[in-house]
Structure 1
Amino acid sequence: MPKSPKYLLIGSTEASSGKSATILGLSNQLRQAGLDIAYGKPLGKSLRESEGSLIEEDVEFITRSLNLQPNQVAPTLLALNETTLQQRLSGKDTTDYQQSLASEYLQDNLGDLVLLEGPANLSEGHLFDLSLMQVADALDAGVILVFRYKSLLSIEALLFAKQLVGERLIGIVINDVPAEHLQAVNNTMRPFLEQHDIPVLGILPKSNLLRSITVGELVHQLNAQVLCRGDRLNLLVESLAIGAMNVNAAVKYFRKRQNMAVVTGGDRVEIQQAALETSTQCLILTGQLPPPSFILNRAEELEVPILSVDLDTLSTVEIIERAFGQVGVHEPIKVECVGHLMREHFDINRLLTLMDLSPATTLS
């Protein structure tokens, strides 16, 4: 007779904190320990219909990345959007989602451990009884909170989260810590949190690669016109540079940066030229002025896409900065990077002990 699986819910206090990335990295370590894992995301965002069932973007990606079989993936119960909210508020949707959760997720055939991806924050999904704590209570799940580091002031939000999650909190992962803050996080933040019964399972350093965004995503976000090299939209942009200074200053500035998107005016030909000769993944031209043919020809040779936007520089930069903060891990190179970071900086043995899980294989 199969034993019932344990449940571990990966949550966060705000959106885009790194839940999917944590699940990817964690899954590989758990498998190395010989554990049979399953995955589910009860509350989804971007759902589409495929062969009569709802498919969630993150679920599809994680299923493919981890090569999960259909019986290792629990279904997404609801897409949270304006339409579903309206239906709930008007009384058209009277579904008992707690009952749906129990019937779909409390299955004995889901292996040793079910990794659950939680909502964007601690309150999302509450109207449908699918908030982080409502899911945790329904499935008797332990909780790991992934927290994107901003400053030492973040401690207050973590203490408040601990108060809400209570005894279900297995531990936290502090994500995206800049190199210059790692010492303070390790020597000041970690001991304080541990004293307050908040186990720090991992402190992940900031990675430009994980924050990177494809040129294609920038085209989508900016509603941009692609002027050349539309075949290179899969290039990853790690940083943003604004070409608003004189050309000598621009060259020095560009040489210090890697894999950048350069935003400059369509009339700043000398800046465009300088950008193309440095580590530029795409040129984004504002003002709807077409570049001269020699710039387009050089970009073609160097395989650098040029985009044209109907926006001013400030608006363009704001949209790109926002996009950097919301990127997922939907590229193989990012999955590899996440795996490396988790192996280096996450205490898998401590997690197994806290959850009373016995690995079939000893992990070093």
Structure 2
Amino acid sequence: MGALYLIVGEEGAGKTAICAGLAINLINAGKKAGYLKLKAAAKDADTSLMKKIPGLEIIAGERNAVKGRDIVLAEARIGKKAGENDSKAAYEAAKEMKAKVIAVEAFSDKTAKSIGVYKGFGESLVGAIINKVPQRLLKHTKEEVAAKYGAEGIKVLGVIPENRALLAITVGELAECIGGKILNHAEKSGELVENYMLGAMVVGSGLDYFGRKKNKAAVVREDRLDMQLAALETPTSCLVLSGGNKQPAYGVLYKAESKGIPIISTETNINDIVASIEKALAKTAPDHEKKLAKLAETVKQNLDIKDIS
């Protein structure tokens, strides 16, 4: 198969996540796969993520990286223009590896702005992947990017939707980022939290409100027993009690225990909790076992792997 070289014009497009999804699917298909990040530092976060994939060989700067392997995944960033050093280095690396090149872009109103740089790879460029597309814009984006790239003779290999599960943090990570303490079911600290709902925003029935989303953290003031109990009646990953460190009411703790829902208690107020969660989500990586599985599934469903490998 040779080498697949994923390139991006801007950080945050998700090229390493797509590398990981491709790697898992290729390994599951029985391929001997390796991962090479050119010029990667020893403690590089992307390499750390790829090390979590069972069966994937991490390659440290070998000149003939493909030898002895079915496929090698590599990645790099290009410059804003073809003449910049990053772009020139990427062109040379692709040529040396005889790699198939795939451009990865995150969804934005400036999608396809780097087409001129992509063309510098010549016949090595097999196409582009548009990543992190909002579900509601998926159909429109597929049509739009197919037209834009098609007009330039570039194939769109896949349009990958946003997946909230890949942005999730664990119950334990949530407790840490908001300065909280897990009061019960500490064994569930590794469970993922995909959604967040604030009890302070509820005017009507808390049961109807909290029932709208699952796999969530319900954030409620410690004095709102009605909202706490309502949240516990719905699919909830954890209940966060804000604004104090008192022991929960007996009825709340009993219901949480019986339903297997951890309670996090924190003195942090709701506004600061929201800010802390936003910071944590900005740094999250798809390195959890469940996230990696979901990532592989998302890539498989939205990308024709046989077409590029």
| TM-score band, normalised by shorter chain | 0.7 to 0.9
Aligned to 1:59, which of 50, 55, 59?
Answer: 50
Alignment check: 8 A CA contact 2:135 2:162 kept: yes
Residue 211 of structure 1 aligns with which residue?
Answer: 167
Report what 1:82 is aligned to.
none
CA 1:47–1:301 in 2, change beyond 3 Å: closer, same or farther? farther
Q: Deviations over 1:75-128 (max 9, x none)?
A: 2xxxxxxxxxxxxxxxxxxxxxxxxx4xx3434635243202446x858xxxxx
Query: Quick check: 2:16–2:46 contact (8 Å CA) kept in 1?
Result: no
Contact 1:40–1:59, Cα closer than 8 Å, also in 2:
no
1:134 corresponds, among 89, 92, 96, to 89
TM-score scaled by length of structure 2: 0.81
| SS of residue matched to 1:244 | helix
Length, aligned pairs only: 298
Given the alignment, which residue of 23, 26, 30 partners 1:27? 23
Q: Give the residue type in structure 2 aligned to 1:281.
A: S
Residues of 2 paired with 1:36 and 1:58: CA distance?
18
Cα pair 1:16 1:325 within 8 Å, conserved? no
Cα 1:330/1:32, change in 2 over 3 Å = closer
- How well do the aligned residues superpose, as a CA RMSD in angstroms? 3.2
Distance 1:323 1:274 in 2: 26
Q: What are the within-5 Å matches in structure 2 for residues 17-166 of structure 1? A: 17-30=13-26, 36-42=32-38, 47=43, 56-62=47-53, 64=54, 67-68=55-56, 72-75=57-60, 101=61, 104-107=62-65, 109-118=67-76, 134-135=89-90, 137-138=92-93, 140=95, 141-150=99-108, 153-155=109-111, 158-159=112-113, 161-166=114-119
The answer to whether structure 1 residue 319 and structure 2 residue 304 are counterparts is no
CA distance in 1, matches of 2:262, 2:116: 49
Deviation at 1:343, TM superposition (A): 2.6
**The one of 273, 276, 280 aligned to 2:229:** 273
- Please state how far the C-alpha of 1:35 moved relative to its aligned partner: 5.3
Q: Which amino acid aligns with 1:26?
A: L
Percent of residue pairs bearing the same amino acid type: 28
Q: Which moved more, 1:238-247 or 1:333-342?
A: 333-342
**What displacement does 1:260 show?**
0.8
Per the alignment, residue 192 of structure 2 pairs with 236
SS at match of 2:217: strand
Matched residue SS, 2:4? strand
Distance 1:143 1:266, change over 3 A: farther
Alignment partner, residue 178 of structure 2: 222
Code of the aligned partner of 2:229: Q
Q: Are the aligned partners of 1:38 and 1:113 in contact in 2 as well (CA < 8 Å)?
A: yes
Q: Which residue of 2 aligns with 1:362?
A: none
Partner letter of residue 272 of structure 1?
Q
Moved more, 336-345 or 274-283: 336-345
Q: Is the 8 A contact 1:136 1:142 kept in 2?
A: no
For residues 236-278 of structure 1, what are the alpha-carbon distances to aligned partners after superposition, in whole Å with 9 as ceiling and x for unaligned?
Answer: 2111101114563332211111111112222222211111111
- The residue that corresponds to 1:304 in the other structure is 261
Change (3 A) 1:24 1:55: closer
Q: Structure 1 stretch 281-290 or stretch 30-39: which is displaced more?
A: 30-39
Higher RCO (CA 8 Å, separation ≥ 6 residues): 1
